[in-house]
């Protein structure tokens, strides 16, 4: 999701197991699939993709004010390879990247690197770059202009980190390829999501709604990966819930609920491995996420002093006293942590519990071919026939007014509200919108109706494309499972219609039988915003206003994906004809972010010196307490320390220091602040909240930094706090 490009205008800038681990899952073949010969070669891998953790805009809420100031948990890409054992060059690569959305430019580079390194194995068609859709990661990596606005353009360092870490994850998966088997199942996770636009959902036909118990999908589907002996190596799961547990006022880079769920599961299976150094790979993938929210308690007014403070927001427009800004969704832990961290942990745990349930069962085996299909589709003015025979067409991209209203997960700015298709919410915008993007012509107005156009992005080509016109359409098949890899965020009902139509078509064409299992994964590959149903589109809440190709966007995707199912048939060969790939825009990308000039420790100090120390060893810390030390710092943009750490908690074991926590443990945080731009001085805080069960003993905090000299050379350094003790 993306919100307020106008913020920039506003700033005048736009003129331009632990329990399973033990026995069940890892060593007991009972829970796995038995009697199935290894039909597949399976590979799993993980890589660190964390970009610059300070002085960079964060991606998801598109808030100019949300500039990162440190690290809570690292972002990672996880990769699963499934190859057909009878023809190992026939394979698919599913990447679950802990980022807000897939991107054409990042994907292009990943595909280029992998196809050069492994000729004939990995290509543009069999690699899917799926995002967790989290909203607390590093921004600036997207190729189109609209999502770059709040990050002051393109941030190459972010894109490079995502590309390098993702390629590493696939390399590790490739190097781990071994015979194995797959199995598949589903369960329900009731408390993990809530509809954030129920008034739009209610616009769907009553008889259609009557077929479903909830206004959200509660299914968690899991594909289990076993080795040849039936021991679990990991899994890929699908569940729809926005990565917005952590609020927009957090500025520490984190992984939101999907990345947290993966960490919790992996740490349960391999409790002694540092985060990211595990071999069991847990996949929590995003699905039809559009109108889902992890803020399961509902949306309330935060309007101190007003009579409606603390009341539920108004239903249709999510306003408080007619204003959007004060309406905020509440997660299950909102009372315990006002940045959303506790809610994040709870929503992650619900997904972990769902996955654990399935991993503890004997699931039906998956067997059958590995197939994939990919094509580029130009979605501007695509003509096609609806099932009733009427010819309709899609439109060049445009954002509606309610796009600027934001959502209850991250409300919009100024006077914009959701659920309004009147054209004059804000007279200021009537005047300036033509200066931002070209005013729509009558054809575009009619095509996008009933959406009133705020940003006519499909006609904005200067200085480069604002929104994609060309999207990636992709499907991956393993046996009876088909993954619809979608370039946007489908709402709950859109996802249901899409899955149902594709499942029916797969069966009708004889590609799959009645056991066909179809899931949606996304937003993936390219970011083409939202996909609401036609009925939801008429209501124009945020999801409808962000459905960029017009009211028939969903039908166009159903039409296109359906036309390609024959490429997934057992005997299918080759790939379909494709529209031209989107142009590589990174060469012309504008970047306004300035680099690190230099670092200085200040007179009389050295980098890594302790400024404020931990408590004396004679007064021990207890579980639940925060251990904090402050150091003379340097800018972490000098070295991202990918696959490494900015900090460690060291324990004295047999007179040797052993690192027991890294910067990616949820219990630690790394915070950086500049003291003086002129002098180049900065401070780092390292915090560890002692977990219950931490062994008594002697510990210290260690800070790993890298300083830049005036000449430009970068030098690593290390700082230690004093020793402290923990007594349980």
Ligand X SMILES: *[C@@H]1O[C@H](CO)[C@@H](O)[C@H](O)[C@H]1NC(C)=O
Angle formed by the axes of helices 256-269 and 341-359, nearest 10°: 50
Cα angle at 243 between 238 and 247, to 5 degrees? 160
Secondary structure letter of residue 403 according to DSSP: G
In the complex, minimum distance from the CB of residue 15 to ligand X, in angstroms, rounded to a whole number: 26
**Residue 723 interacts with ligand X (CB under 6 A): yes or no:** yes
Query: Which residue sits closest to ligand X, CB atoms considered?
Result: 587
Secondary structure letter of residue 440 according to DSSP: P
Binding letters toward ligand X, positions 612-641, x by CB under 6 A: ------------------x-----------
Name the one range near ligand X by CB under 6 A: 47-55, 342-350, 375-383, 455-463.
Answer: 375-383
Out of 23, 722, 727, 728, point to the residue binding ligand X (CB under 6 A): 722
b/e per residue, 491-503, with b = 16+ CB within 10 A?
bbbbbbbbbebbb
CB nearer to ligand X: pick between 92 and 99? 92
**Residue 725 interacts with ligand X (CB under 6 A): yes or no:** no
Cα–Cα distance for residue pair 684/617, rounded to 1 Å: 22
Binding letters toward ligand X, positions 667-696, x by CB under 6 A: ----xxx---------x-x-----------
Cα–Cα distance for residue pair 714/716, rounded to 1 Å: 7
Please provide residue 573's backbone torsions phi and psi, each rounded to the nearest 5 degrees: -135, 160
For the record, the structure tokens of 154 come out as 């393109």
Cα–Cα distance for residue pair 667/69, rounded to 1 Å: 17
In the complex, minimum distance from the CB of residue 711 to ligand X, in angstroms, rounded to a whole number: 26
Among positions 166-195, residues that touch ligand X (CB under 6 A) are 186
**Residue 117 interacts with ligand X (CB under 6 A): yes or no:** no
Name the one range near ligand X by CB under 6 A: 253-261, 283-291, 348-356, 583-591.
Answer: 583-591
Cα–Cα distance for residue pair 506/674, rounded to 1 Å: 57
**Residue 322 interacts with ligand X (CB under 6 A): yes or no:** yes
Among positions 390-409, residues that touch ligand X (CB under 6 A) are 390
537 is in an annotated binding site: no
Angle formed by the axes of helices 104-117 and 156-175, nearest 10°: 40
Name the one range near ligand X by CB under 6 A: 34-42, 92-100, 354-362, 384-392.
Answer: 384-392
**Residue 586 interacts with ligand X (CB under 6 A): yes or no:** yes
Among the listed residues 193, 98, 79, the one whose alpha carbon sits nearest the alpha carbon of residue 137: 98
Among positions 13-52, residues that touch ligand X (CB under 6 A) are none
- Active centre residues (catalytic): 293
Residues sharing a CB contact under 8 Å with residue 569, sequence separation 6 or more, in sequence order = 371, 509, 510, 511
Residue 144 Cα distances to 454, 461, 473, 582, 585, angstroms: 18, 10, 18, 11, 8
Among positions 231-270, residues that touch ligand X (CB under 6 A) are 247, 249
In the complex, minimum distance from the CB of residue 375 to ligand X, in angstroms, rounded to a whole number: 14
Cα–Cα distance for residue pair 330/340, rounded to 1 Å: 9
For the record, the structure tokens of 545 come out as 């206003």
Residue 415 Cα distances to 128, 325, 398, 454, 536, angstroms: 39, 9, 20, 13, 22
CB nearer to ligand X: pick between 488 and 636? 636
3-state helix, strand and coil shares in percent for the chain, rounded to the nearest 5: 25, 30, 45
**Residue 338 interacts with ligand X (CB under 6 A): yes or no:** yes
Out of 85, 538, 679, 714, point to the residue binding ligand X (CB under 6 A): 538
CB nearer to ligand X: pick between 229 and 277? 277
Among positions 136-165, residues that touch ligand X (CB under 6 A) are none
Name the one range near ligand X by CB under 6 A: 25-33, 84-92, 286-294, 483-491.
Answer: 84-92
CB nearer to ligand X: pick between 132 and 394? 394
Among the listed residues 488, 669, 583, the one whose alpha carbon sits nearest the alpha carbon of residue 54: 669
Cα–Cα distance for residue pair 555/559, rounded to 1 Å: 6
In the complex, minimum distance from the CB of residue 728 to ligand X, in angstroms, rounded to a whole number: 20
**Residue 350 interacts with ligand X (CB under 6 A): yes or no:** no
**Residue 595 interacts with ligand X (CB under 6 A): yes or no:** no
For the record, the structure tokens of 701 come out as 């905090």
With CB under 6 A, what is the number of residues at the site for ligand X?
A: 48
Please tell me the total number of residues recorded for the chain in this structure. 728
In the complex, minimum distance from the CB of residue 100 to ligand X, in angstroms, rounded to a whole number: 19
In the complex, minimum distance from the CB of residue 225 to ligand X, in angstroms, rounded to a whole number: 19
CB nearer to ligand X: pick between 258 and 534? 534
* Residue ranges of the binding site for Zn(2+): 133, 242, 489, 530
**Interface residues toward ligand X, by CB under 6 A:** 87, 89-90, 108-109, 112, 186, 219, 247, 249, 274, 277, 302, 321-322, 328, 338-339, 378, 380-381, 386, 388-390, 421-422, 450, 469-470, 510, 517, 538, 569, 571, 580, 584, 586-587, 630, 652, 671-673, 683, 685, 722-723
């Amino acid at each position: 999701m993306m919100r307020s490009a106008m913020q920039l205008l506003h700033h005048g800038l736009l003129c331009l197991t632990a329990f399973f681990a033990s026995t069940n899952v890892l060593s007991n073949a009972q829970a796995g699939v038995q009697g199935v010969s290894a039909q597949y070669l399976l590979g799993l891998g993980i890589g660190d993709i964390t970009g610059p953790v300070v002085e960079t805009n964060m991606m998801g809420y598109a808030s100019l004010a949300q500039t990162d100031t440190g690290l809570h948990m690292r972002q990672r890409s996880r990769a699963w390879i499934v190859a057909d054992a009878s023809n190992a060059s026939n394979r698919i690569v599913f990447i679950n990247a802990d980022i807000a959305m897939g991107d054409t430019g990042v994907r292009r580079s990943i595909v280029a690197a992998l196809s050069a390194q492994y000729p004939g194995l990995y290509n543009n068609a069999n690699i899917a770059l799926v995002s967790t859709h989290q909203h607390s990661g590093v921004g600036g990596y997207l190729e189109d202009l609209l999502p770059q606005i709040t990050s002051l353009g393109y941030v190459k360092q972010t894109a490079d980190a995502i590309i390098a870490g993702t390629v590493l994850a696939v390399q590790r998966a490739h190097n781990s390829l071994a015979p194995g088997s797959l199995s598949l199942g589903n369960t329900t996770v009731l408390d993990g999501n809530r509809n954030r636009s129920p008034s739009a959902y209610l616009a769907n036909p009553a008889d259609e709604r009557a077929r479903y118990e909830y206004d959200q999908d509660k299914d968690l589907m899991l594909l289990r990966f076993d080795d040849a002996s039936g021991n679990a190596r990991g899994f890929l799961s699908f569940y729809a819930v926005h990565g917005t547990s952590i609020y927009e006022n957090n500025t520490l880079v984190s992984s939101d609920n999907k990345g947290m769920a993966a960490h919790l599961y992996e740490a349960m299976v391999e409790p002694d491995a540092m985060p990211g150094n595990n071999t069991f790979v847990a996949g929590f993938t995003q699905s039809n996420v559009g109108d889902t929210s992890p803020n399961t308690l509902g949306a309330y007014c935060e309007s101190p002093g007003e009579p409606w403070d603390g009341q539920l927001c108004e239903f249709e427009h999510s306003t408080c006293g007619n204003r959007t800004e004060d309406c905020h969704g509440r997660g299950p832990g909102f009372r315990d942590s006002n940045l959303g961290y506790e809610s994040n942990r709870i929503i992650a745990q619900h997904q972990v519990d769902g996955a654990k349930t399935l991993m503890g069962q004997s699931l039906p085996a998956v067997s059958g071919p590995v197939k994939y299909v990919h094509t580029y589709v130009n979605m501007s003015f695509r003509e096609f026939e609806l099932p009733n025979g009427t010819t309709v067409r899609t439109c060049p991209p445009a954002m509606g007014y309610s796009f600027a209203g934001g959502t209850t997960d991250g409300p919009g700015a100024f006077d914009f509200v959701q659920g309004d298709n009147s054209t004059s919410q804000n007279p200021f915008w009537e005047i300036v919108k033509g200066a931002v993007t070209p005013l729509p012509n009558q054809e575009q107005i009619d095509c996008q109706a009933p959406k009133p156009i705020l940003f006519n992005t499909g006609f904005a080509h200067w200085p480069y494309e604002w929104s994609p016109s060309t999207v990636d359409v992709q499907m991956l098949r393993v046996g009876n499972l088909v993954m619809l890899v979608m370039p946007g965020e489908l709402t709950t009902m859109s996802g249901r219609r899409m899955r149902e139509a594709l499942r029916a078509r797969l069966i009708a064409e004889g590609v799959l039988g009645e056991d066909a299992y179809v899931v949606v994964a996304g937003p993936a590959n390219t970011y083409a915003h939202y996909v609401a149903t036609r009925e939801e589109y008429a209501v124009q809440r945020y999801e409808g206003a962000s459905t960029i190709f017009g009211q028939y966007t969903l039908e166009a995707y159903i039409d296109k994906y359906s036309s390609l199912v024959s490429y997934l048939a057992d005997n299918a060969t080759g790939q379909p004809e494709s529209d031209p790939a989107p142009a590589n825009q990174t060469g012309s990308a504008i970047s306004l972010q300035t680099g690190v000039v230099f670092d200085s420790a200040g007179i009389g100090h050295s980098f890594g010196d302790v400024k404020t120390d931990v408590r004396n060893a004679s007064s021990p810390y207890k579980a639940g307490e925060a251990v904090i030390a402050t150091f003379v710092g340097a800018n972490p943009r000098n070295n991202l320390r990918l696959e490494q750490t900015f900090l460690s908690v060291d324990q004295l074991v047999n007179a040797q220091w052993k690192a027991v926590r890294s910067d990616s443990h949820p219990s630690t945080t790394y915070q950086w602040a500049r003291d003086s731009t002129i002098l180049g001085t900065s401070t780092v805080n390292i915090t560890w909240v002692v977990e219950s069960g931490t062994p008594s003993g002697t510990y210290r905090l260690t800070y790993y930094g890298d300083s830049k000299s005036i000449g430009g050379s970068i030098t690593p350094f290390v700082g230690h706090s004093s020793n402290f003790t923990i007594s349980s």
